[in-house]
Structure 1
Amino acid sequence: MVLPQVVMAVAEDGSMTVAVDGTHLAPEPLAPRWQRDSFARVLDQLTEQRRSPMRVEVHEADGTVFTDIVTPGKSRRPQPEIDHARPAPKVGPELVVLHGEGFVPGEDVAIAVVIAYGDAAPDGTMRGLLTADQLATSPTREVILLGRVSGTLTIEHPE
């Protein structure tokens, strides 16, 4: 089986072009040009339309090239907004917050021992949440955040 190939080229201004198997794709009519922060949404749409894994190449303006295989079917639910002005009542499990930097905006970031995935924000940062119980099962208490496109690796030792 030959995987469809997606090539995404990011320009200096953050705009992005997309081609699948050599055929240029454009955003919907009247929609703005794709930007770097459109990355995850475009890949989700392409894999959902084709219902097939895809080989993805990202060509950065500085000449850096990242490759990955992206598969369809991952359900993404939007993160709820949190009102930090008023403390929330303590309900449910205690969460551990993870932070990392240097990720490609919108890329999938693995949280290892891989129990979840999160998306990088438009500024390339990542915020993940684990329950204290999930962290307690790790004998080393180490958590790895791994950018699946950029290859960025962050090792956390949350308290």
Structure 2
Amino acid sequence: MAVWTVYLSLGLLVALNASVETRPAENKECGACREGWSAFECRCFKFFNIPQTWSRAEKFCLYYKGNLASVHSHDEYMFIQRMIRQTTHATPFTWIGGHDAPEEGHWLWSDGKKMNYQIWSPGNPSNYLGKEHCLEINYDNGNWNDDNCSVQKPFVCVY
């Protein structure tokens, strides 16, 4: 009986803690984002206005237990662009997690998720001079472009 009481007490404690935790308004099943991060559909995003190469930006995101952002819908892309504009009052070219480094023309997300949404600028990806393998946003009319991964740009992480 004492063991059953302990399990019941622990269950009640867990339930109380879960109900007190702050959760994003979009979905009651999501956990809260860390301070300074913004929630969209159970994922947490942050814009870093610290120009880095694509690979250094990805390493930076990994430090935060995330990746460069993958984008899966137009609404999610608009959310990311608004987040950048709120920080910079502009739309700088910005790294996200797309790349085709392993195989030219086969675009992947660094977090391993399927690339099921794309909004490339006309004529892109172009792989200009055979050196463009990383995805930047806010290019022509806010669309996507492939660029040289060694160019330093601000970036967006997600976890």
TM-score normalised by structure 2 residue count: 0.24
Choose between structure 1 and 2: higher strand proportion: 1
Higher relative contact order (CA 8 A, sep 6+): 2
Larger-gyration structure (1/2): 2
